C-alpha cells in the first residue's frame, strides 16, 4: 500500500488580482501553514512578512491532495518549472531545487533554466513506463526488450544503441524496484 498523505500547495499573495502564487511546495499534515507561523529571512519569508505587515493574509491553497511522495515531488517540480523562480524572472520565491535535481555544474557549460527539472520529469516518466512493462511481464524483461518495445533504441552510429534503457533498468535496480532473475539478463519487478 502506498502512502497517499502528500499534497501540493501554493502560497498566494492576495494583494494582486487574481492572487498569484509566490511559493509552491509539497507536504503532509500542516506543512502548508508552517511557513506562516515562523517566516524566515528567505525570499519566501520576506514576502510573507510584507503581506502580513500590509494588513493582508497569505492565501494557502492546496492544489492537489492524496498523492504519493513521488507524485507530489513530480508535480511540485512541474509547477516550479512552469511558474519559474524570481531569480530567473519568474514568480516563485522557491530556493530549494526539488529532490533529484542536484546543483552540480561545469563552468564551461550553460544549463538553460528549467532543463534539469524537465530532464528529471522525463526520467521519472521513463522509469514508470519501464516498471509498468516489467510488472506486465512477470517472467522478466531484458534490456533489448525494453529498448525495442518501448521505442528507446537509438540509431546513433556508435556501438551500443541501448544505453538509455540500460541506464533506466540500472536506476530501477538501485531503487530496489527491479532485480536480476538469477544469472539471466532478465529483470523482474519487485513492486506489486
**Tens-place pLDDT, residues 125-177:** 888 889 999 999 999 999 889 998 998 888 776 556 688 888 888 888 887 88
Question: How far is 62 from 12, CA to CA, in rounded Å?
Answer: 11
Please report whether residue 107 resides in a domain: no
In this structure, is residue 146 part of a structural domain? yes
**In the prediction, which pLDDT does 101 show?**
47
Residues 127 and 185 in one domain: yes
In a domain, residue 103? The reply is no
Q: Where are the alpha helices (DSSP H) in the chain?
A: 31-37, 43-53, 69-83, 115-135, 143-149, 163-174
Q: Are residues 69 and 133 in the same domain?
A: no
User: Which of the pair, 85 or 59, is modelled with greater confidence?
Assistant: 59
pTM score, whole prediction? 0.55
16-51 residue pLDDT tens: 999 999 999 999 999 999 999 989 999 999 999 999
Query: What is the Rg, in whole angstroms, of the alpha carbon atoms belonging to the chain?
Result: 21
Residue 36, domain CATH: 3.40.1440.10
Task: Examine residue 101 and state whether it is found in any structural domain, yes or no.
Answer: no
**Domain presence at residue 109:** no
Does residue 105 fall inside a structural domain? no
Q: What is the mean pLDDT of the chain?
A: 85
Question: What residues make up the domain containing 179?
Answer: 115-189
Q: Does residue 60 belong to any structural domain of this protein?
A: yes
Q: Considering 88, 107, 138, which residue would you say is the last residue of a domain?
A: 88
Number of domains in the chain: 2
Amino acid at each position: 500500500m502506498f502512502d497517499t498523505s502528500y499534497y501540493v500547495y501554493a502560497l498566494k499573495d492576495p494583494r494582486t488580482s487574481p492572487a498569484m502564487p509566490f511559493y509552491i511546495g509539497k507536504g503532509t499534515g500542516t506543512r502548508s501553514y508552517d511557513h506562516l507561523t515562523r517566516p524566515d529571512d528567505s525570499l519566501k519569508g520576506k514576502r510573507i512578512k510584507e503581506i502580513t505587515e500590509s494588513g493582508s493574509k497569505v492565501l494557502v491553497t492546496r492544489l492537489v491532495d492524496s498523492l504519493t511522495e513521488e507524485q507530489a515531488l513530480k508535480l511540485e517540480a512541474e509547477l516550479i518549472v512552469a511558474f519559474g523562480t524570481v531569480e530567473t524572472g519568474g514568480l516563485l520565491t522557491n530556493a530549494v531545487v526539488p529532490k533529484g535535481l542536484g546543483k552540480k555544474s561545469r563552468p564551461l557549460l550553460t544549463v538553460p533554466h528549467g532543463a534539469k527539472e524537465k530532464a528529471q520529469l522525463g526520467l521519472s516518466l521513463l522509469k514508470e513506463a519501464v516498471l509498468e512493462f516489467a510488472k506486465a511481464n512477470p517472467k522478466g524483461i531484458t534490456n533489448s526488450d525494453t529498448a525495442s518495445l518501448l521505442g528507446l533504441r537509438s540509431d546513433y552510429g556508435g556501438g551500443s544503441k541501448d544505453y538509455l534503457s540500460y541506464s533506466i533498468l540500472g536506476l530501477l535496480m538501485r531503487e530496489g524496484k527491479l532485480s536480476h532473475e538469477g544469472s539471466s539478463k532478465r529483470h523482474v519487478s519487485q513492486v506489486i
